[in-house]
Amino acid sequence: MLPFRLRERRRRLGRRLASMLLAVLLALALRALVIQAYRIPSGSMEDTLLAGDFLMAAKFLYGIREPFRGRLLVPGLKKPEPGEVLVFSYPVDGRDFIKRCVAAAGETVDVRGGDLYVGGAREDLAQAVHKAPETIELWSGAVRGWNALYQRSWEERRFLPLNWVRDDFGPVAVPEGHLFMMGDNRDNSMDSRFWGPLPVADVRGKALFIYWSWDPEVQAPAWQFWRRVRWGRIGRLIK
């Protein structure tokens, strides 16, 4: 038989390993089903979010889905709404994207001279910015006049490689079960104007707050890392 002390050490080690395994499993479940961290890689959501921001997003608000198949397991507390900043799976290749929802199913969207119109009314979002001096115009509105063809081409993501729809787009009707997403940096955002409507099933969560912010453009030695931290952005709620 093993000495008492050795048996006791093994029991303590077993308990510690079990506790560590439970903690890992809980963390994975939390990440997959409840809340998850994301990093902002680009400036498409400036000035709401900056490249180098790290944020937390609530995944349970819109329902809990099976991790790989996407099947809805638990119904959500609410539906995604216009005005909310959402994390979602990019319909083209599945990468995590973050944009603002500007229109829901059944609403019409068009952009005229860079200005957004939803349901025929101009949307003046305080967070929206324009940083490009020029406006890309579509000649004479000719293509815009072919409503059915335009709508179908948009839904089939045929505008994806183009940039002439940036400032002169639509009108289109958001299909049932879909959303229209746009970046707050309207002149530098790959969004629903180009790749079409977003299926609600692809929404991963609602952006909540910035828990860390790191300026990628600031050069500083490792021992002076604090110079690269945007201290004023940490803890900021995302609106």
- pLDDT single digits (tens) 37-94: 788 888 889 889 999 999 989 887 887 766 666 666 777 678 899 999 999 988 888 8
Tokens of residue 169, six digits: 């787009």
What is d(CA 203, CA 104) in angstroms, rounded to the nearest whole number?
13
Tokens of residue 157, six digits: 């993501």
Neighbouring-strand partners of residue 38: 55
Angle at 22 between CA 18 and CA 28, to 5 degrees: 145
Condensed to tens digits (0 to 9), the pLDDT of residues 159-168 reads 776 667 788 8
What is d(CA 115, CA 133) in angstroms, rounded to the nearest whole number?
14
* Number of CB atoms found within 10 A of residue 37's CB: 11
Give the type of residue at 59.
K
Instruction: Map residue 154 onto helix, strand or coil.
Output: helix
CATH superfamily of 35-233: Umud Fragment, subunit A (2.10.109.10)
The ranges assigned to domains in the chain are 35-233
Indicate if the alpha-carbon torsion angle 69, 72, 78, 81 is positive or negative: positive
Contacts of residue 66, Cβ cutoff 8 Å, sequence gap at least 6: 72, 73
Instruction: Map residue 134 onto helix, strand or coil.
Output: coil
pTM of the model: 0.77
Cα dihedral 154→160→39→98 (10° resolution): -10
The tens place of each residue's pLDDT in the chain, 239 residues long, gives 556 566 667 777 777 777 777 766 665 666 666 677 788 888 889 889 999 999 989 887 887 766 666 666 777 678 899 999 999 988 888 888 999 999 999 999 999 888 899 998 998 876 676 666 555 554 434 445 557 788 888 887 877 766 677 888 888 999 999 999 999 998 888 899 989 999 998 998 899 999 989 888 877 777 777 788 899 999 999 99
Q: Please name the residue that has the structure tokens 């609600």.
A: 200
Please count the residues of the chain.
Answer: 239
Neighbouring-strand partners of residue 115: 112
